[in-house]
Structure 1
């Protein structure tokens, strides 16, 4: 049926709902609820059978919900109401939570219930839970509610039980008292504010929003003291330990443009006193381990963005992993984002954004090239969460791509005004064929795991919850390493020098087009990047989202010929 998604932003949950509804045969359009727009007029123009709001911060007008059935996804159990539902749940230490799909009416979060699904809340950051356990529960609830609506006989339930209405969780409640708060308390407050709005703090002569938090097991100091740095993060002492804070965002000054999150060390700049770089610490954004004949190189960068420095460190770690005597190397995070490509925030904050853009794209290209030219083992990309742009192409460089059943992939660049690099003109067509490759980059729509498997974009969908994905990948990787065919597959991989010569032309052409964009101050990329990192709201719904999108078909378009050589239609063994 024709479903209209109303959303405050086309965020991760809205993208997943969009992708999975299309995979199930529905026609889906998206409209953003913007300050200058008229929702009643917009909905009438679409005339959908059902209106669904996966992430909506404003109330649906009465004129709309009286004319159409409007279902709202609320990230809380039945009876929970308020704008900071998940924040409060983490702040208060709830271990069990839920997601409710309710019908819009005159009171926020008070409508009749179409579906409610429970979920666990492990001690993890809000954004990780939102894209993991909460998103899984939300999808289950949405699909159940849509099926009940389509059936036509289901009568939604009134909310007659206990009701708890809580206000917006503001900074007065989020504040950390470094002189009194334990590590557990500090982490809970940091996690409840991740990735927005952060926890406002004052130190080193400035006001900063703290983003992210990880426990430190060894370092100790006076409560509130800065102890060390590591991988761009700062370590700060609590009353009984210490925490790592990866990112900071300066508080916006009156009349100044919005600020963006940056690696903590970069954000502090000259304010940061001399601190030791902790070589051995309880937290790291890159880790390596081995289990018999399988190596696991995991990485987790905030927001999935990879700066020049992060790409170079990951490349060093990859080369070290390739020096180990393993037959299978698993590349990827154990949870959440795989990668979203270059770090637009670091680029925007650079003294010369064009130069930093170039350095970043070269660094990530070097990493992708290293994966593509690995000839002495099988490389598996383990996509635990979402991936976009160059992050998708990094995953496609591997011999096999395994993704979790809840993953969403965005294999395109054009929404940021970029042609793209990371050898995409080689890897994407060889995976899905030239026609589908052209359609994916042109349509610029999210793809769910089932759709990615059907297209050949991934080789395996791992049916596992967010917390079980890593263990299941470990089991599958061990099985792969033990297969007799694995030795033959490794032996059949192209010699490194031959592969490098083939790849050089792809990289040269892609980078020539990227360089032209970076060096042009009037290129749309610069304005789009700035708007993205400052979280500026668009003036209208992007044109590629507003039309009702029909279910995807693997052979819907013709390729326009972006590759400099003929490309094989399937992965090279």
Structure 2
């Protein structure tokens, strides 16, 4: 039995990458991050693969970072390790946004935190009718990461992106479709099938042409790399803040946080 946190299978010229940690709603553990990056690198260089699908196991897309691997409230945090864990996700985002293969998200259930960031980094997003999206970074004293401040405004416009991120609200799939966060809404259980259908459309385009389109779009009008560097610098500072500690403690204790701006 394959108990890897990332399942990969080929269906014709399409590679399906399934985040697989059902007991944590496919949260991004360190092992999962490493495996996802390794597979994205391998598949990006594979001429037989024309498109990728990113999805999650057991009815959910991804719940974000793996809380079980984070320091408990009140415990010392390894800032260097936290930065490295984010760097791995940044490398994944670079390959998804600017890499040579079209990437389609097949979202069932929740896409929260970094899970929402991953979905927004895809070229096409298919969501089940009962899927939900949320980026509640501000409720734990952090800022949106994994490129969300770059990808979301390009999908929905800056005004809508500001509202979604500053309110940290949960957005249903139909709402996400109306805002432009989601490209296609399907019946529950049908996201993967719809994603594969979209990949078949991408497969008719010359691979080098598709790669060139993605490379150029990832650079303009503002550099993704510049955004990711700013994000890394600011997130490191926020991880050391009093409000982040309070946000983590409140999350653990299932209560509303009390922020003081420090």
TM-score by length of 1: 0.41
Contact 1:293/1:481 (CA < 8 Å) preserved in 2?
Answer: no
**From 318, 330, 333, the counterpart of 2:56:** 333
Q: 1:382 to 1:497 in 2, by over 3 A?
A: closer
Q: Partner residue of 1:531?
A: 250
Distance 1:497 1:412, change over 3 A: closer
Matches within 5 A, 1:25-174: none
TM-score normalised to structure 2 length: 0.84
State the distance in 1 between where 2:95 and 2:226 align: 16
Could you tell me which runs of 5 or more consecutive residues in structure 2 were left unpaired when the two chains were aligned: none
Determine whether 1:519 maps to 2:240. Answer: yes
With over 3 angstroms needed to count, the CA separation of the structure-2 counterparts of 1:491 and 1:368, relative to structure 1, is closer
In structure 2, C-alpha distance between the alignment counterparts of 1:491 and 1:504, rounded to whole Å: 17
State which of 164, 177, 182 in structure 2 corresponds to 1:453.
177
- Per-residue CA distance 1:397-424 (angstroms, 9 max, x = gap): 1111111111000034211111222112
Structure 1 position 390, deviation (Å): 1.8
Provide the C-alpha distance between the structure 1 equivalents of 2:63 and 2:116, rounded to a whole number of angstroms.
Answer: 7
Corresponding residue of 2:39: 317
Q: CA deviation at 1:337?
A: 2.4
For the 8 Å contact 1:344–1:529, the answer to whether it is kept is no
How far did residue 338 of structure 1 move?
1.7
Report the CA distance between 1:391 and its aligned residue: 1.4
Cα distance in structure 2, aligned partners of 1:416 and 1:318? 30
Tell me which residue corresponds to 2:157. Answer: 433
Counterpart of 2:115?
Answer: 391
What secondary structure, in the 3-state scheme, does the structure 2 residue paired with 1:470 have? helix
- CA apart distance, 1:484: 5.4
- Identify, as 1 or 2, the structure richer in helix: 2
C-alpha offsets along residues 525-560 of structure 1, whole Å, 9 cap, x if unaligned?
12221332x3x13269x9xxxxxxxxxxxxxxxxxx
Alignment check: 8 A CA contact 2:8 2:15 kept:
yes
Change (3 A) 1:298 1:435: same
Q: Is the 8 A contact 2:111 2:132 kept in 1?
A: yes
Give yes or no for the alignment of 1:360 onto 2:85: yes
| SS of 2:70 mapped into structure 1 | helix
Structure 2 CA distance, aligned partners of 1:316 and 1:493? 20
Q: What RMSD, in angstroms, separates the aligned Cα atoms of the two structures?
A: 2.8
194, 215, 239: which one pairs with 1:494? 215
> 1:208-287, aligned counterparts within 5 Å?
281-287=1-7
Task: Find the residue that maps to 2:61 and give its secondary structure.
Answer: coil
Contact 2:138 2:168 in 1 (8 A): yes
Deviations 1:5-56 (A, max 9, x none): xxxxxxxxxxxxxxxxxxxxxxxxxxxxxxxxxxxxxxxxxxxxxxxxxxxx
Greater CA radius of gyration, 1 or 2?
Answer: 1
